Amino acid sequence: MVDRVTETRWREVILLAVGMAREADDLLLWMKAAIDNLLAGDEKLQRFLQWADEKARSVNSPYKLVAIRAYYFALDLDLDLDLDLDLDQRIGDERLYQRLQDLKDREPDPHQDRSAFKKWWQENVKAWIDEFRQVLIEHRNIGHDWQFTGKQRQKLQQYYEANKLLVECLNSDCYVSRETRQKIEDELLLPLERSDSTL
């Protein structure tokens, strides 16, 4: 059953089995190991997990590291996030703000001359986006173009969904020891080199 963690039709069966287990520790640890091994053979995907972990550790936040890792994981892959960020209020870095303002100042005002803006955008969109991405990488270490293949994106999506299922299991009415729960939470979305779970 553990090898079915990526199959959505098995989701309810897995939740039921975990909930019915007298002690779910071993089952949850096996699930964690199976999930981690989904990305085991791909160095680029492991580097992505390493980046998400490094990015999470660089942020001063009251949230758990796993929550911050999940945020950057989903944000960089554009997974199920609907964010409305006001950059002016959240930047806190004058150099970053100035670079973004310089980018904005290069474009014509769309409210004054829509056709000039449209023409400018058509001619400059790629260069503008590339420079915007570079500013984000330099100042916030976000916006990398990982150039994942379709298969890698699919693996990351499966990995992400399987981790969400594991969290649902942890949050269900199952019995799991405090130590096992903490170990799993601490190691969610980590590259294999930082995780103890291997099959």
Has residue 13 been placed in a domain? yes
35, 166 contact by CB (below 8 A)? yes
> Domain check: are 73 and 165 in the same one?
yes
13-67 pLDDT, tens digit per residue, is 888 889 888 899 999 999 999 999 999 989 999 999 999 899 888 888 888 888 8
More confidently predicted of 60 and 188: 188
Q: Determine, yes or no, domain membership for 55.
A: yes
Total tally of structural domains belonging to the chain: 2
**Which residue range forms the structural domain that includes residue 179?**
2-83+150-194
Residue 114 CA: distances (Å) to CA of 20, 57, 105, 123: 62, 43, 15, 14
Q: Is the pTM of this model over 0.75?
A: no
Give the model's pLDDT for residue 134.
76
Residue 104 lies in a domain: yes
The per-residue pLDDT for range 71-112, each reduced to its tens digit, is 888 877 765 443 333 434 444 567 767 777 887 888 888 788
CB atoms within 10 A of CB 119: 12
Shared domain check, 105 and 12: no
Residues 137-168: tens digit of each pLDDT:
676 666 667 889 999 999 999 999 999 999 99
Q: State the Rg of the chain over Cα.
A: 21
Domain shared by 123 and 155, yes or no: no
Check whether residue 79 and residue 164 sit in a common domain.
yes
Q: 74 and 8 in one domain? A: yes
* Cβ-proximal residues to 32 (8 Å cutoff; 6+ apart), any chain: 166, 184, 187, 188, 197
Q: What angle do CA 135, 143, 155 make, to 5 degrees?
A: 165
* Together in a domain, 106 and 165: no
Closest listed residue to residue 189, CA positions, set 54, 75, 52, 62: 52
Residue 199 lies in a domain: no
Report whether 163 contacts 16 (CB < 8 A). no
Residues 184 and 164 in one domain: yes
